[in-house]
Amino acid sequence: MNWHSHEFIWLDWVIIIAGILGVSWAVWRSIEKDKRNQKGANSEDYLFGKGEPWYIIGAAIFAANIGSEHLVGLAGTGANAGVGMAHWEMQGWMILILGWLFVPFYQLMNTKLGKIITMPDFLKTRYTHRAGSWLSIITLIAYVLTKVSVTAFTGGIFMESLLGLPFWFGAIGLILLTGIFTVFGGMKGVMTLSAIQTPILILGSFLVLFLGLAALGDGNVGHGWTAMMDYARTLNVGKDGVAYGTNHMFHFETGDPMYDEYPGFWVFIGASIIGFWYWCTDQHIVQRVLGQTKGEPNDVVMKRARRGTIAAGYFKLLPVFMFLIPGMIAIALQNKAGSGFDMGYIMKDGASVLNTDAAFGSMVKFVLPAGVKGIVTIGFISALVASLAAFFNSCATLFTEDFYKPKFKGKSEARYVLVGRIATIVVVVLGIIWIPVMMSLGSLYSYLQGIQSLLAPAMVAVFVMGIFSKKITPKAGEAGLIIGFLIGMLRLVTNVFTDTGKKVMTGGFWDGTAWFWKTNWLIFEIWLLVFIMLMMVAVSFFTPKPSAQQIDAITFTGEYKSLIRKSWSKWDVIASIGVVALCAAFYYYFW
C-alpha cells in the first residue's frame, strides 16, 4: 500500500463511508435522546436548541462560521493575495462584543418579552413592526442569495478538487444532504454535529499547515515558513516593477496593485463594520446564544453564553492558519522546482490560469498520508453540512417566528416544527435554483463582498443607534433600515453594470454620479453607515418619540446590572484580554 499517495486510495474511501455512518449515528442518537427528555416536539427547541455547555456554544458559533467558502475561497485568496483578507478572519475580538455587550442585552429582552427573541423581534420592540418585517425579508433574501447558494457553490468546487466528484454532484448533493439533516435534526442536530466536527476540522487543517510547511522547507517547518514568506514578498508586482508583496495586511502605497481593492486603513474599518453586523446582529450567529435559557437564572444563562463567545473568540483566531496560510503555502509549492505539487489550470476569459480555488483540496491530497486523508475529509464534509445547516435553520426560525406564528397563533408545537421544516425545504429548493444564476455572474467573491458591504451599514446603524440612544424614534429606525437597504441595492445594480466600478457609465444622469458607483466599496460602505446614522438623527427631530415601553426594553435596571456583574469573574476578563492580545500580535506581525 502506498501510504504517501497524492490521491485518495481505497482505505480513504472506506474510512470516509464508515465515518459518515458513524457521525450520522451519533447525531441521530443525540436527537432521539433529546426527544425522549422533552417528551414531544417543541418548536423552540427545534429552532433554538436548549442550554448547552459553554464549550459546545463556542464550537457551534465557530462551526456556523466555517463553511466551504473558507475551504475554497479563503485558501484561494491566500494563494492570490496573501494575508490581505485576514482582516475578515482576525475578528475574535468582535465576538467578545457579542458576549459582553449583546448577550446581556438580548437576555434582558428575552426576560421582558417572555420569549426567545429573533433579531427582527428587537426591531419590532424598539422601533416598529414594519422595521422588523423588513429585517426578516432582507435577511431571508441575503441567506438564499449569498449564504446558502455560495456555500453550496463553493462546496461543489471543493468536492471536485478533493474527491474528484463532478461539480453538480458535489453542490446538489451537499444541499440535499444538509436539507435532510436540518429538517430532521433541527438545532440539536446542528449543535451535536458541530461538537463532533470542530476538533476533526481543526486538527486536520493544522496537519495540512504543518505538513505543507515541512514539504516547502524540505522537512523543516521553520524553513518552510521562511520560504513561504520570502516567496510572498516577491508577489504583487506593480506597474513600476516593484514587488509590494502579499505578506502584509495593510496596503498604503497607491502604486500597490492591491491598494485599489484594500485601501490603507479603510480596510480595517470596513471589515469591522461587516464583522459587527455578522457577529453581533446576524440571526445565524446570534441564534447560537439566544437559545441558552431553560428557566434558569439570568446570571447563569449570561455566564454560559458569554463564555461560549469567549471560546469562539479563540476559535476564530484559527481559520487564518487553517485555510489562508495553507493557500500561501500552496502557491509557493506550485512555484518550487521539483515539488511535484500542482493545483491545475482552468480557462478564464479565453486564457489558461492557475486554479487557485483548488489550493486547499490539492494540499490535502498532496501532504496527508493515506487514511488520514479520509479522516480529515470526514471533518471537512461535516463542517460543510454544519455551516449550511446553520443557515437553513436560521431561515426556518425567521419564517416560523416572525411570519407564521404571529398570523397563526395557538397552533400545536408539532405544527410549528412542521412549518419550520417546510420553510427549510423551500430554502433548499431556492438555493439549488440560484446556483446557475450565480455561476453566470462572473467574479463571485467581488459580488459577495459587495453584498456584505451594502447590507451591513443599515443593520449596524439601526442596532447601534437603537441600543445606545433612547432619543432615536421608531420611524427613524424604520427609515434607516429601509432607505439604507434601498441605497445599498441601487449601488449593487450599478456594480453589475460597471463591474464594480471598473467600467464607465456615461450620458445624462450618469455623468455626475461617478462618485456613487466608482467609489471604492469599503469607503462607500463607511460613508453609507455615517449617512444612515445622521439621517436617523435628523428624522428623530420630526417624528414621535419612542414610548415608555420601547425605552424600557433597552433600559438596564440596577437589579439587572447587578445580575450582569454576578455573571462574570476575573477569569472571564483575563480570557477575553487573551483574545484581544492574540489578535493584536497577529496584526503586529503581519502589519
Cβ distance 189 to 204 under 8 Å? no
Q: Are the C-beta atoms of residues 31 and 188 closer than 8 Å to each other? A: yes
The pLDDT value recorded for residue 195 is 72
Q: What pLDDT sits at residue 46?
A: 47
User: CB-hemisphere CA count at 13 Å for 66?
Assistant: 33
Q: Spell out the residues 6+ positions from residue 437 whose beta carbon is closer than 8 angstroms to its own.
A: none
- Where helices occur in 233-335 by DSSP H, the ranges are 266-276, 283-290, 298-315, 319, 325-334
Task: Please tell me the distance from the alpha carbon of residue 239 to that of residue 131, in angstroms, as a whole number.
Answer: 48
Q: Which helix (H) or strand (E) holds 352?
A: strand 351-354
The residues, any chain, with a CB within 8 Å of residue 381's CB and separated by 6 or more, are 16, 20
Nearest-angstrom CA–CA distance, 98 and 64: 15
pLDDT of residue 294: 56
Contact by Cβ (8 Å): 47, 402 = no
Q: How many CA atoms lie within 13 A of 16 on its CB side?
A: 15
Cα separation of 89 and 271, whole Å?
9
- Tell me the H-state helices in 143-220: 149-163, 167-216
Phi, psi of 347 (to 5 degrees): -90, 130
Would you put residue 220 in left (φ > 0), alpha (ψ -120 to 50) or beta?
Answer: beta
CB 391 within 8 A of CB 148: yes
Residues 6+ apart with CB under 8 A from 10: none
The Cα–Cα gap between 458 and 285 comes to: 18
Helices (H), 400-443: 405-407, 413-439
- Separation of alpha carbons 155 and 172, rounded Å: 9
Are 119 and 139 in contact by the 8 Å Cβ rule? The answer is: yes
Rama region for 239: left / alpha / beta (φ>0; ψ in -120 to 50; rest): alpha
Place of cell 459518515: 20
Q: Tell which phi-psi region holds residue 241, choosing left (phi > 0), alpha (psi between -120 and 50) or beta.
A: left
CA-CA distance, 110 to 127, in Å (whole number)? Answer: 17
State residue 119 phi and psi, 5-degree precision: -60, -40
Distance CA 385, CA 151 (A): 9
CB-based contact 460:277 (threshold 8 Å): yes
- Rounded-to-integer distance, Cα 183 and Cα 173, Å: 15
Q: In this predicted structure, what is the pLDDT of residue 132?
A: 87
DSSP class of residue 41 equals -
Distance CA 282, CA 98 (A): 11
CB atoms within 10 A of CB 318: 18
pLDDT for 245 equals 93
DSSP 356: G
Cα 138 off chain centre by = 17
CA distance readout (Å), 542 to 180, 458, 485, 577: 50, 20, 22, 43
Q: What is the pTM of this model?
A: 0.84
Supply 183's cell numbers: 429538517
Domains and CATH numbers, the chain: 10-232+280-438 (1.20.1730.10), 441-555 (no CATH)
Q: What Rg value do the Cα atoms of the chain yield, rounded?
A: 24
CB 207 within 8 Å of CB 372:
yes
Task: For residues 324 and 81, give the distance between their C-alpha atoms in angstroms, rounded to a whole number.
Answer: 10
Per-residue pLDDT of the chain (591 residues; tens, 9 = 90+): 566 677 778 888 888 888 888 877 877 777 677 666 665 555 555 444 556 788 888 888 887 787 667 777 788 889 988 998 899 889 999 999 999 988 888 888 777 776 656 788 888 889 998 998 888 888 887 877 777 777 778 788 878 877 788 888 888 888 777 777 766 766 667 667 767 777 888 888 899 999 999 999 999 999 999 999 999 999 999 888 889 999 999 999 888 999 988 898 999 999 999 999 989 988 778 877 875 555 677 778 888 889 999 999 999 999 999 999 999 999 999 988 878 888 877 766 667 778 888 888 889 888 988 888 888 888 888 877 877 777 777 777 778 877 888 888 877 877 887 887 788 778 778 877 877 766 655 556 556 767 788 889 999 999 999 988 899 999 999 999 999 999 998 888 787 777 666 666 666 666 667 777 778 888 999 999 999 999 999 999 999 999 988 888 788 878 888 888 888 999 999 999 999 999 999 999 999
